[in-house]
Amino acid sequence: MPFDLREIASIAGMPGLYRIIAPTRSGIIVESLAEKPARSVAQARNRVSILHEISMYTNDEESTVPLEEIFDRVRTQYGDTLPVTSKSSNQELAKFMESVLPDYDQDRVYASDMKKLVQWYTLVSQFVTYKETAATEEAAVEAPAAQEEAEAPAKEAPKKTKAAAKK
């Protein structure tokens, strides 16, 4: 996905989002995503949620949609400016969610989750670089690797049959 959320975290009890800098003995060093970033230590007792691991429920009981994919959909539809804010009404937030993720589970995705999504997207779009070419670069790298994997078993198969014939 274009936004790399593997180093971005939300920390319970601390407002905003943070970039993970380095581990310490008693927690992690984080830097706030803000105009003037400030470094601090998140203790081990704090609940740290990495955005890369967060997903939203859909109507399909067995599937969820990763937050990275939702951010990508929002960026595709709205760019950097959203039609809603975290202070918008619940109805406006619900309409926004339906436009981005039409099959989201309305029973398990609460208005507070939608508000967090809007807040987080706003911060991420400002302070995390968006890599548009990442998907095309990955596809270009995966295509030759897939061809090599397809050719490798074909090359190995004759060797196995020769060994079987010698026995």
Q: Is residue 154 part of a domain?
A: no
Tell how strand 64-66 and strand 55-57 pair up. antiparallel
Residue-number span of the structural domain to which 40 is assigned: 8-51
Residue 157 has pLDDT above 60, yes or no: no
Q: What is the C-alpha to C-alpha distance for residues 29 and 21, in angstroms, rounded to an integer?
A: 5
**Mean pLDDT calculated for residue range 23-45:** 90
Q: Is 39 a domain residue? A: yes
Whether the model clears a pTM of 0.75, i.e. scores above it, the answer is no
- Does 116 map to a domain? yes
First-to-final CA distance of the chain: 50
| Same domain for 71 and 26 | no
Domain assignment of residue 160, yes or no = no
Mean pLDDT score of the chain, rounded to an integer? 81
Q: 128: pLDDT confidence band, cut at 50, 70 and 90? A: confident
